Structure 1
Amino acid sequence: MVFKEIYYAGSRTPLDGVYFRDQFYEIYNNSAETIYLDGIYFANLTPGKATTLLPIWPEEDGDNYAYAERVWKFPGNGTEYPLASGESCVISQFAVNHKLEQYNPNSPVDCSSSDFEFNMDNPKFPDQPAIDMLHVFYDGKAEKGKVPQYLTSVFGGAYVIFRIPEEEQWDPVNDNNMKTTDLRNPNNKRFYAKIPVKHVLDAVECIDNESMVNAKRVPAVLDAGLTYVGATYCSLSIARKRTMNEDGEPVRRENGALIFEDTNNSTNDFERGLVPILRRYDTKIPAWNHTR
């Protein structure tokens, strides 16, 4: 499982306002086997924006954890949402056609075919046919909080997907060992979820631009590099590179599925500054998508 494309930067409106409701994250099954999304977690890490003033975490944690601001989970009973080899799923902040007049005609994306969305129960942005992600954690609690949308940094966030084995318990809301504050500020009472590095399936770190390459905040074992689009509200995304053979042709599995670069180094694995496209290269849509 890998992040295939991430569109976080947002867009400009016809009157040169800013629009950030069109963020999306595409996840691809880069393996030869079917993977069930059920129970897989999605999180954005802290700091939300790249900075050289990094948090201080408990010394006993060592390099064993990444630290999340907010955590979501794919729903399902274990076998409801299969993702076959070569299929991808899209999770949108708001799963609508953002090009419509009531949203932003300048937006580059129509997210109405998204498989999932981050529904924050805001009546101004009503629930869509896309399946709701399950909210797990924010600031030490299971509640979503009062923010009107799930917005990750338009400057570039850090994102992970992970799965906790069935035989292990992971409850950052009720288990104090699985959450912590930033020890840099003793008066800081905000809690962050501790994600075991060993259970991370994929991680991508994004920064503002090339001037922030020294502001790395994701453990190198998860992502040895970083990537960026270079500006905010620029209608651009990052997209994972296809693996190419010596003839310059994309490598495919026996079933025709594309194989994407996955060296755990976003500097090398991603193209940057692209016009965002859901399911770029015509990757397959799951049979359970609401449009099928």
Structure 2
Amino acid sequence: MKKIINLLLFTAAIFMVSCGDEASIPQYYNLKIALNPEEALVGSKLSKLKLVATNDNGTSQEFTLSGDTTINLLQGQYTLVLSGKVTDEAAAYVSGNTETILFANTTSTINLSKIIKSPIIFKSIYTTGGQQGYILDQYFEIVNNSDEVQYLDGLILSAPAGGQTKENAWQANGYPDLYACGQGLVIAFPGSGKEHPLQPGQSIVLANDPINHSTEAKKGNHCPDLSKADWEIYIKNVKGEVDYPTPNVKVIFTNNTRIRAFGIGVNGRSYLIAKCPNGMTPEQFAADPKNIMTMPGTLSKTQYLMIPSKYVLDAVDIWNNKRTNNYGTFLPKDDAQGILASTANAGKCIRRKVTKIVDGRAYYQDTNNSANDFLNNQELTPGQTPTSVDQ
């Protein structure tokens, strides 16, 4: 009898040890991720979805998603952060996060929100001239305002006429989300996709004529030195135009061969940076008759290249500073309100506000509202990085 009791005690001890060992073994469970897009995202194609799962010990794992999916994780408490891209909208992203406790197979729903945020934006725009009648010293600064490498390849610049006091012809005839190029040029950066990188915080200067205008102009004391500009807008079909050694952007569309410069706008104009969807080049877009219109409601035969709002990365509306009844060129999601133009012929630019400086790098304000984001009558400092925050 004693032997039987001892055997039972021994068996129980083994069972208890076994149970203790099993309890100490880390357990993995399936976590189904269910995506719940907000109304603005319904019907949108999403891409580059990335899920970061961080447990309560601070350990993170990254997963690539294409939609609802199931992942396998060690038991514990998790913070789930999802980010991604709206495929057919240049500046639209998705974001969502939630928390979950995983001690059994379970499902976690992540609510997705649409965010409009451009990694590439205008840093400064100078089109008001440094002296009366001299318009060749205009320039545009473009900056990578993100923390990842971006690429200039395929970026389109267009200059809608702007300067309106009421709805333009397209807005009045049911095309509020198409932006006509205005008279002149539409230009694009060359490259097949990753030939022209722009590092985080890096900016480039795009000049109509990349020379020292302070010595070329007759009264050039207000004109900038653009001899070190990064890119040139060369219009080869215009009489008297000079092709300087600076790399050229491409002219992909023109509707007025007499205009010698891109985006002339001494008293104000609107400007945008756009990006075609993957698989479409700027040249293909500009050659498609579906993207070209004449002005609705008129007999004009002038053709305009129309940029869809969903292709827009950044838009800036510069309003005539002598008017009080300026009317917006863009949808609010692209640019809610214009910045008043700098004083004409005084050699001043508009410059985007600096929100912070980290290790010498400036970060710029981008709320899709030019009135909030820009300062006018600023000094011309092409290629220079601001050293102070704007209050």
Shared fold (TM-score, shorter chain, > 0.5):
yes
| Two-structure CA RMSD over aligned residues (Å) | 2.4
Partner of 2:192: 77
Q: Residue deviations 1:46-95, cap 9 Å, x none? A: 34x3343622359564x432221331100123222100001001111111
Within a 5 Å distance, the mapping from 1:94-133 to structure 2 comes to: 94-101=209-216, 104-121=219-236, 122=238, 124-133=240-249
Asked if residue 211 in structure 1 is aligned to residue 323 in structure 2, the reply is yes
Asked if residue 196 in structure 1 is aligned to residue 308 in structure 2, the reply is yes
Quick check: which one's helix share is greater?
2
Give the 3-state SS of the residue equivalent to 1:99 in structure 2.
helix
Q: CA deviation at 1:125?
A: 4.1
Partner of 1:65: 178
- Matches of 2:168 and 2:217, distance apart in 1: 39
Asked if the contact 2:328/2:336 (under 8 Å) is kept, the reply is: no
- Matches of 1:98 and 1:116, distance apart in 2: 16
Q: CA deviation at 1:182?
A: 1.2
Q: CA deviation at 1:174?
A: 3.5
- Matches of 1:89 and 1:65, distance apart in 2: 27
Give the 3-state SS of the residue equivalent to 1:106 in structure 2.
helix
Partner of 1:50: 164
- Matches of 2:232 and 2:133, distance apart in 1: 21
CA change 1:31–1:267 in 2 (3 A) is same
- Matches of 2:301 and 2:285, distance apart in 1: 15
Q: CA deviation at 1:177?
A: 1.7
- Matches of 1:130 and 1:112, distance apart in 2: 9
Asked if the contact 2:154/2:281 (under 8 Å) is kept, the reply is: no
Asked if the contact 2:169/2:296 (under 8 Å) is kept, the reply is: yes
Unaligned runs of 5+ in 2: 1-119
Partner of 1:37: 152
1:54 is aligned with what amino acid? N
- Matches of 2:150 and 2:261, distance apart in 1: 29
Quick check: which one's strand share is greater?
2
- Matches of 2:161 and 2:229, distance apart in 1: 26
Asked if the contact 2:235/2:251 (under 8 Å) is kept, the reply is: no
CA change 1:169–1:81 in 2 (3 A) is closer
TM-score, L = length of structure 1: 0.82
Give the 3-state SS of the residue equivalent to 1:206 in structure 2.
strand
CA change 1:212–1:93 in 2 (3 A) is farther
Unaligned runs of 5+ in 1: 244-249, 284-292
- Matches of 1:200 and 1:35, distance apart in 2: 15
TM-score, L = length of structure 2: 0.62
- Matches of 2:383 and 2:233, distance apart in 1: 19
1:124 is aligned with what amino acid? G
- Matches of 1:123 and 1:176, distance apart in 2: 28
Q: CA deviation at 1:172?
A: 5.0
Asked if the contact 1:45/1:157 (under 8 Å) is kept, the reply is: yes
CA change 1:137–1:123 in 2 (3 A) is closer
CA change 1:34–1:59 in 2 (3 A) is same
Q: Which residue of 125, 136, 142 maps to 1:21?
A: 136
Asked if the contact 2:341/2:376 (under 8 Å) is kept, the reply is: yes
Q: Residue deviations 1:127-170, cap 9 Å, x none? A: 1122111001123xxxx724333351111110011111223576
Percent sequence identity over matched residues? Answer: 29
Q: Which residue of 366, 370, 385 maps to 1:262?
A: 366
Asked if the contact 1:26/1:278 (under 8 Å) is kept, the reply is: yes
Structure with greater Cα Rg: 2
Partner of 2:68: none
- Matches of 1:200 and 1:178, distance apart in 2: 15
Q: CA deviation at 1:179?
A: 1.4
CA change 1:126–1:174 in 2 (3 A) is closer
Give the 3-state SS of the residue equivalent to 1:137 in structure 2.
strand
Asked if the contact 2:121/2:142 (under 8 Å) is kept, the reply is: yes
CA change 1:134–1:104 in 2 (3 A) is farther
- Matches of 2:216 and 2:264, distance apart in 1: 24
Identify the range of structure 1 (263-272 vs 149-158) with the bigger mean alpha-carbon deviation.
149-158
Q: CA deviation at 1:196?
A: 1.6
1:145 is aligned with what amino acid? T
Q: CA deviation at 1:282?
A: 5.5
2:145 is aligned with what amino acid? N
2:155 is aligned with what amino acid? I
Partner of 2:204: 89
Within a 5 Å distance, the mapping from 1:152-231 to structure 2 comes to: 152-168=264-280, 171=284, 173-185=286-298, 187-209=299-321, 211-231=323-343
Considering Cα pairs closer than 8 Å and 6+ residues apart, tell me whether 1 or 2 has the greater RCO: 1
- Matches of 2:306 and 2:279, distance apart in 1: 18
